[in-house]
Amino acid sequence: MKCPACHYNETKVIDSRLNSDGSSVRRRRECLKCEKRFTTYEYVEQVPLMVVKRDGRRQPFDRKKIIAGLVKACEKRPVSIDKMEEVTSEIERVIQKKFDREVQSKDIGELIMEKLAALDEVAYVRFASVYRQFRDVNQFMSELTLMLDKEKGKKTDH
């Protein structure tokens, strides 16, 4: 750490303390040349996660958008807002773990559909119809058929 007074490159740490919420470390330092004391703060660098949209635009990740999509899909369904918050947190954890700086919106959509399929089938179909931009009843029926086939597969496995 460079001394702010004489610009000498070597200092020693006299004292280190975490701030009250644990998000930074406060360090008292002393210059080894001029003996000037000064304080530095150490923070974890938060790199914003960007979502790459279908058209190539980029925008910051926003968990509120996931919750809004879940609320629409689960409208008039027996799914609590607490459960939607929990699902959103699970999705956010997966995204932060799997992706460094950018995530494709389609990857987020697929994660949401995966969670909704396990949570509520009607909400899943609602979300899928908007997310996959169903153009007609045939596309809708194809999705339902896939769901029914998966359900039959689960029942024959037991």
The two beta strands, 24-31 and 37-43, are antiparallel
Residue 45: both structure tokens together: 């660098």
Tally of CB atoms within 10 A around 124:
21
For the purposes of burial, counting CB atoms within 10 Å of the CB of 3, is it exposed (0-12), middle (13-18) or buried (19 or more)? buried
Chain segment 36-71, per-residue pLDDT in tens: 999 998 987 767 899 999 899 999 999 999 999 999
- What pLDDT, on the 0 to 100 scale, is given for residue 13? 96
- What pLDDT, on the 0 to 100 scale, is given for residue 46? 67
User: b/e for 44-78, b at 16 or more Cβ within 10 A?
Assistant: eeeeebebeeeeeeeeebeeeebbebbeebbeeee
